[in-house]
Structure 1
């Protein structure tokens, strides 16, 4: 069995020059979180491993950024350090990998999470051949996630009005969470103590926004196969941001204090690349199969707002109380630091469970081309 002793996160800064975190390095964000874990729990850290999810593994995030972060954080030489890329679910995948190391007896404690500084390494900066490779079958060629979201909204009958309502709710919940215990594990970094990407609109201002991604459709027209009704605006897409999240995972007796939660089950799945973001649902359903639990058992849920269509389909197709879901706001309001997001969501889930004094919590994340991850935790205390 694997336990979460603590999980912390940074606020999310704007992922561009002039953003509140943009003067920092990704390894400095991680070292800030390592220091926070030490101080919050009054412990020394000698983990067997540091595992980080990062999508843009070039430039400031190249050179095995987990290893660089190990050195920056002054972790022991004996700590193994490796970086993984599972697209936008990377941060949660890293924590699942840590849980596996604990459960299999490979380690007594592991630090795991993710970091992404889009101010330093912009989206698709790795310039992978896959992004433009036409030798793949059409169904598995890379499709910009925003266009996949537009096509999915049209295919599944999600209206522009539904997207607007969910974006506004995310903004309002994010604003309402400030100054509350829902943010107990968010650590101020570089003077940033709030979600820098947040802009709270109105029904009228959101309705006035134009669809944002039609301009990219021409390049991907062969993959799309037809003209599509572009519905997502900038309010329906999570902003590019800087941020990090880190969890301390261990055995039952790894430290001399009570863990915050135990990991009941976690899964990684692949899905239909033509529907891109829907692997999240496959991951969620699989983790329920493994755990023997159901959506009804969950007291709090962090469901990644990869694009507004994702959360719209979740709320439309599953019998779930809105009062349980993303109660501190979501990605549409706060931003999406790619490889860090899954770890940030897990940290948020623990805070929301604490406030609710709930037992079970679910975190679900999705990425491009059919990647999905999910985890169920049980709160202790």
Structure 2
């Protein structure tokens, strides 16, 4: 996967400096994120993965493949998340705190460029729901690699200002098999604050891309 991420960076001209800057910003966002939702989710007062990442740290970080280093790729982590989908009537009767699931899909992409699979998933979801990119208030994009996150944000035409505002997988870790649910849960908490429309998207090995749209 690191080799695929590096090839993606080479193909799209994403420099190591850009990747490192994205990773640094992800850690900064995670460290300044509201604590309440972390306490609620994890039962802890801080996230042990986040750190004061700097350009100096990135410069000396061991390289994994080309421009991919241990500083601009996510950390493998243990983790879990679950999402419950119920009818609006069920939630109303129980005064449950929730958001509306507007739609989403999973599609297959180029297996040689798996990091780009979420782009088409995002685009098709937006199109099917007649949602303009300018209507989005919050977006959660998988950060297995900084290069992959940058490529998806640029490819889908999403404003990076609204992406992963509470830190992504580069700062919080990448629990294989749970990361999609983690993104959905993170988006759930973010739109409780920001309101409006939000989307989450993730890539999977083999070229699969998934996206969902939520609203408060």
TM-score (norm 1): 0.54
After TM superposition, give the deviation of residue 320 of structure 1 in Å.
3.2
The within-5 A match list for 1:1-381 is 145-177=1-33, 179=35, 181=36, 183=38, 185-188=40-43, 192-213=44-65, 230-255=66-91, 256-356=94-194, 358-379=195-216
| Contact 2:123 2:156 (8 Å CA) reproduced | no
Alpha carbons of structure 1 residues 269 and 299: separation in structure 2 relative to 1, 3 Å: same
- The count of corresponding residues between Structure 1 and Structure 2 is 214
**Using the alignment, how far apart are the partners of 2:153 and 2:159 within structure 1?**
8
User: Is the contact between residue 177 and residue 328 of structure 1 (CA under 8 Å) also seen in structure 2?
Assistant: yes
User: What secondary structure does 1:254 align onto?
Assistant: helix
Q: Secondary structure at the match of 1:377?
A: strand
The CA deviation string for residues 327-352 of structure 1, in whole angstroms up to 9 with x for no partner, is 10000111100111111111111111
For the 8 Å contact 2:202–2:209, the answer to whether it is kept is yes
**CA displacement 1:294-339 (0-9 Å, x = unmatched):** 2211110001112111111134344433331101000011110011
Deviations 1:236-276 (A, max 9, x none): 11111011111221112224214411111110100001112
For the structure 1 residues 249 and 318, does the alpha-carbon distance in structure 2 shift closer, same or farther, using more than 3 Å as the test?
closer
Larger-gyration structure (1/2): 1
Segment of structure 1 superposing worse, 196-205 or 273-282:
196-205
Answer whether contact 1:185 1:347 (CA < 8 A) is retained.
no
Residue 193 of structure 1, CA deviation: 4.3
Please state whether the residue corresponding to 2:164 is helix, strand or coil. coil
Q: Deviation at 1:199?
A: 2.6
Q: Secondary structure at the match of 1:316?
A: helix
CA contact (8 A) 2:115 2:152 kept: no
Aligned in 2, Cα 1:185/1:351: closer, same or farther, shift over 3 Å?
farther
Aligned partners of 1:306 and 1:367 also within 8 Å: no
List runs of 5+ in structure 2 lacking aligned partners. none
1:99-145 Cα deviation digits (max 9, x unpaired): xxxxxxxxxxxxxxxxxxxxxxxxxxxxxxxxxxxxxxxxxxxxxx1
Match of 1:80 in 2: none
Q: Secondary structure at the match of 1:269?
A: strand
Higher RCO (CA-CA < 8 Å; seq separation 6+): 2
CA RMSD of aligned residues (A): 1.7
Q: Retained in 2: the 8 A contact 1:171–1:198?
A: yes
Q: Deviations over 1:186-221 (max 9, x none)?
A: 231xxx4432222322112212223223xxxxxxxx
**Normalising by structure 2, what TM-score?**
0.92
Give the secondary-structure state (helix, strand or coil) at the position aligned to 1:250. coil
